[in-house]
Amino acid sequence: MGRQPKHFCAASILNKLWVLSAAHCGKGISASRITVKAGKNNLKVKEAAEQTVKVLKVYIHEKYKGGVGPYDIALFKLATPLKMNKNVQAIKLAQPNSIPTGNVWLCGWGSTSTSISPIMPDKLQHVMLKIMDLKSCNQTIIKLTRSSSLDKTTNICTGSPNRKSSCSGDSGGPLFKIINGKPVLVGIVSWGMIPCGFRGAPSVYTKVSNFNKWIAQKMRN
């Protein structure tokens, strides 16, 4: 964004022309100001595998009202197609209306700090987390914040074992399960607590399996 492009959100590749992210990553920003980089590992260096493409159009979910809330999902249509190879690959979506359980993986360039001051890594980070029961997640959020904007049909949660969680800069990025040896996208990083990794505090994601129809509909454009 701007003259000095910098990382602000992540996304998942669905095919050579479409990437999936969070609505709060695209709301209020002109598509012309967004650049997508694929095949990246280290943000600080130009890598042989990286591809840089412009965004043609951003599709924000119609029910997203802004800020922390449900329907935090957006599709970015790319201006030019990505070249698919071993470093740039599409991810499969979770089956419609499926409910993820057990171990999942989170990856991104979000802050690694457990204090209120962010520490932004150069290299892609990854961590294994566990899906948290939605009722427990909601109760924990209410206990910690005295209110909850968790949506029981469109959100999923993970806990924060060993003070590991999503954080600032991870927004829009993938939460995925390994099924039959292949990654399957189950969540999109939406919001969480500050400081990140606060003991017992959940991270909240958009549940992808609730949006298969919406995704398919928009990708016809």
- Whether residue 194 is found in the same domain as residue 124: yes
Predicted local confidence at residue 164, as pLDDT: 83
- Whether residue 123 is found in the same domain as residue 52: no
- Whether residue 78 is found in the same domain as residue 120: no
The closest alpha carbon to 206, from 34, 95, 74, belongs to 74
- Whether residue 174 is found in the same domain as residue 116: yes
Is 155 inside a domain boundary? yes
Range of the domain at 179: 92-209
- Whether residue 78 is found in the same domain as residue 153: no
Predicted local confidence at residue 1, as pLDDT: 38
- Whether residue 102 is found in the same domain as residue 194: yes
- Whether residue 97 is found in the same domain as residue 203: yes
- Whether residue 113 is found in the same domain as residue 188: yes
- Whether residue 82 is found in the same domain as residue 105: no
Domain count, the chain: 2
- Whether residue 59 is found in the same domain as residue 81: yes
Point out the catalytic residue in the list 12, 171, 203, 209. Answer: 171
Predicted local confidence at residue 174, as pLDDT: 98
Point out the catalytic residue in the list 24, 111, 165, 190. Answer: 24
Is 2 inside a domain boundary? no
Q: Catalytic annotation on 171? A: yes
Is 5 inside a domain boundary? no
Q: Catalytic annotation on 122? A: no
- Whether residue 145 is found in the same domain as residue 173: yes
Binned average pLDDT, 10 residues per bin, the chain of 221 residues: 74 99 95 96 95 98 93 98 98 97 95 82 93 94 88 93 83 97 98 85 96 98 91
Per-residue CA distances from 73 to 66, 70, 143 (Å): 11, 9, 26
Point out the catalytic residue in the list 21, 72, 111, 209. Answer: 72
- Quote the strand ranges of the chain, DSSP E: 12-15, 18-21, 35-38, 51-60, 74-78, 92-93, 103-108, 125-132, 155-158, 174-179, 182-192, 203-207
CA distance 219 to 16: 12
- Whether residue 57 is found in the same domain as residue 136: no
CATH number of the domain residue 195 falls in: 2.40.10.10
In angstroms, how far is CA 16 from the centroid of its own chain? 18
CA distance 145 to 133: 18
Q: Catalytic annotation on 115? A: no
